């Protein structure tokens, strides 16, 4: 029997509050540090490793976190989720994004449909469509091949797919699997669509309109922008556009699209990269086989999240260490720092994933909680971030936990040796150095040059950023956010905080305003 209780009612959480804190600077110094790094490590899917040696935990804290996982019934709640129980209480919906990449448990029947079969069938339809485009069986009006795919969407219909495309673009070029270039239009700012359309050959572009409801204002506005550009070029928009939407949306049966592929309300936007939302653009860009490899990595990592042993469950372990940092150590933020240029937009995706999911102040039953919940997420790829905001991370008044991501090998298989080391070796040297510098610090008579240390971090390490590794990374963070929501007793799968601004924006556009809203509208000449 599953119980949904606030974290501050759990005995293990109260025990956690009373434990002695770990001095990371001392723990990570000398041979003690070497032993910690070797000991506090757990394998992930696709050859990745989660290492938490530089986190402010020890065996006592980990043992209590294990008790917290059991008392909060984390594995049982995950099992309930993937077996089709109604976990999204706010919208009274199932949560089934894991089913888009694998069957973790029982068949899930909803609305009279086997949902795993539904997602697989849609993926097959997308694969068949993509293969026909690549083979020249589906062409533009002149009988010429499409060379570019442009995704039109916002939020989860843009951030995840865009981050995944950028992550694999160079890998695909080297491995000769880049079938089509991809571009993305998201912002309702007309400069966004204008810039993309100026830089693509619209006559040889296929546009993917992504809107589950078929009513998303920004997306439909940008669709009109694209249709206008196609019309000005003398092209029939219906020969250049496909839709990814729900079966009940106005886009589903429209003659305005070459084809339509379906998702449902059981997959939230920020969790939709492994559904048709990511599947259409990634299959067109890289080929369906590469998308399947991406799904395989995610499925393998999802399976690891079932493990009841906390120390063998990387996503749950990462989640509970994050809870400890947020609620016991009192840290507000988490910085995601990928030492891989390919992951340049991955932190932006994780901002939405984490902050939209767990940016809540009421529990699953709508009651206020008396503890902190989701952290603020930010990040940039290294080494760029080192020359931007690391000053505050090293010497600022607030401690910010850090999540590094690094790979032993680059994607492009092109490098140079300068001053006795390659660029990739320099990149990896920087991330290793930063972990120790943040943890141990440095004393100095000059206070400006003094580093207090005690700044905790973890790192996910892989051989190379491949489709499987990317899928595993995505799953890891999705499941981390899910487990943290379970501990905090939140509904991590709705986003009511997004809605109020949309409602007021419609009032502004209808000139139905008064008070401050009218003044701001007038100032912006609306």
8 A C-beta contact, residue 97 and residue 105: no
Q: Is 502 a catalytic residue?
A: yes
Close Cβ partners of 477 (under 8 Å, ≥ 6 residues apart): 315, 350, 353, 354
Taking residues 217-240, what's their average pLDDT? 94
What is the reported pLDDT for 132? Answer: 98
Of 14, 232, 308, 502, the catalytic one is 502
- pLDDT, tens only, 64-90: 999 999 999 999 999 999 999 999 998
Interval 473-488: pLDDT, tens: 999 999 999 999 999 9
Task: Determine the number of helices (DSSP H) and then strands (DSSP E) in the chain.
Answer: 18, 15
Q: What is the pLDDT of residue 500?
A: 83
Strand ranges (DSSP E) for 7-108?
A: 41-43, 49-51
Q: Is the pLDDT of residue 6 over 90?
A: yes
Check residue 216 and give its pLDDT.
Answer: 84
The pLDDT assigned to 250 comes to 87
Of 69, 54, 204, 217, whose CA–CA distance to 133 is shortest?
A: 204
CA atoms within 13 A on the CB side of 489: 22
Cα-based angle 121, 123, 129 (whole degrees, multiple of 5):
105
What confidence score (pLDDT) does residue 501 get? Answer: 81
The answer to whether residue 356 is catalytic is yes
For residue range 141-168, what is the model confidence (pLDDT) as tens digits? 899 999 999 999 999 999 999 999 999 9
The pLDDT mean for the chain works out to: 96
- pLDDT tens profile 289-344: 999 999 999 999 999 999 999 999 999 999 999 999 999 999 999 999 999 999 99
- Prediction pTM value: 0.97
Q: How far is CA 435 from CA 43, 346, 361, 430, 464, in A?
A: 19, 20, 32, 9, 20
pLDDT at 373: 98
How distant, in Å, are the alpha carbons of 15, 62, 76, 482, 485 from that of 73?
A: 17, 16, 5, 13, 12
15 is catalytic: no
pLDDT in tens, 397-437: 999 999 999 999 999 988 999 999 999 999 999 999 999 99
Q: Residue 336 belongs to what H/E stretch?
A: strand 333-339
Tell me: the pLDDT tens digits for 26-61?
999 999 999 999 999 999 999 999 999 999 999 999
What is the per-residue pLDDT for 305?
98
Catalytic residue among 21, 173, 387, 442: 387
| From 122, 301, 356, 478, the catalytic residue | 356
Please determine, for residue 103, whether its predicted confidence score (pLDDT) is greater than 90: yes
The share of the chain scoring above pLDDT 90, in percent, equals 91
């Amino acid at each position: 029997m599953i119980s949904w209780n606030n974290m501050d009612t759990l005995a293990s959480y109260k025990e956690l509050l009373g434990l002695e804190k770990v001095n990371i600077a001392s723990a990570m110094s000398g041979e003690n540090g070497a032993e910690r790094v070797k000991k506090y490590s757990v394998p992930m899917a696709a050859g990745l490793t989660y290492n938490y040696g530089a986190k402010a935990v020890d065996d006592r804290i980990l043992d209590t976190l294990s008790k917290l996982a059991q008392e909060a019934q984390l594995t049982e709640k995950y099992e309930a989720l993937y077996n089709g129980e109604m976990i999204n209480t706010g919208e009274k919906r199932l949560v089934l994004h894991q089913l888009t990449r694998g069957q973790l448990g029982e068949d899930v029947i909803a609305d009279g449909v086997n949902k795993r079969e539904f997602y697989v069938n849609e993926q097959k339809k997308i694969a068949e469509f993509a293969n026909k485009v690549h083979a020249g069986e589906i062409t533009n009006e002149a009988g010429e091949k499409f060379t570019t795919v442009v995704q039109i969407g916002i939020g989860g219909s843009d951030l995840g797919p865009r981050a995944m495309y950028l992550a694999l673009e160079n890998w695909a070029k080297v491995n000769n699997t880049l079938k089509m270039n991809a571009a993305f239009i998201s912002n309702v700012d007309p400069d966004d669509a204008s810039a993309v359309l100026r830089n693509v050959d619209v006559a040889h572009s296929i546009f993917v309109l992504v809107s589950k409801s078929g009513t998303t204002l920004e997306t439909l506005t940008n669709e009109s922008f694209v249709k206008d550009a196609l019309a000005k070029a003398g092209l029939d928009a219906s020969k250049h556009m496909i839709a990814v939407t729900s079966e009940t949306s106005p886009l589903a049966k429209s003659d305005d699209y070459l084809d339509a592929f379906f998702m449902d309300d059981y997959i939230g936007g920020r969790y939709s990269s492994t559904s048709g939302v990511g599947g259409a653009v990634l299959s067109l860009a890289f080929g369906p086989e590469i998308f399947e490899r991406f799904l395989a990595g995610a499925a393998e990592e999802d399976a690891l999240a079932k493990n009841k042993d906390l120390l063998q469950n990387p996503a749950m372990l990462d989640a509970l260490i994050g809870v400890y940092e947020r609620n016991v150590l009192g840290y507000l933020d988490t910085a995601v720092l990928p030492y891989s240029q390919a992951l340049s937009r991955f932190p932006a995706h994780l901002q939405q994933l984490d902050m939209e999911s767990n940016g809540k102040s009421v529990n699953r039953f709508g009651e206020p909680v008396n503890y902190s919940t989701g952290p603020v997420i930010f990040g940039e790829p290294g080494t760029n971030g080192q020359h931007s905001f690391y000053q505050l991370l090293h010497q600022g008044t607030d401690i910010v936990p850090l999540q590094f991501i690094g790979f032993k090998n680059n994607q492009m298989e092109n490098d140079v040796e300068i001053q006795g080391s390659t660029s990739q070796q320099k990149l990896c040297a920087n991330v290793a150095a930063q972990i120790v510098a943040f943890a141990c610090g440095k004393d100095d008579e000059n206070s400006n040059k003094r580093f207090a240390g005690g700044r905790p971090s973890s790192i996910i390490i892989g051989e190379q950023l491949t489709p499987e590794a990317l899928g595993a990374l995505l799953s890891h963070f999705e499941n981390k956010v899910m487990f943290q929501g379970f501990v905090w007793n939140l509904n991590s799968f709705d986003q009511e905080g997004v809605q109020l601004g949309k409602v007021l924006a419609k009032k502004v556009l209808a000139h139905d305003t008064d008070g401050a809203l009218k003044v701001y509208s007038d100032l912006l000449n609306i």
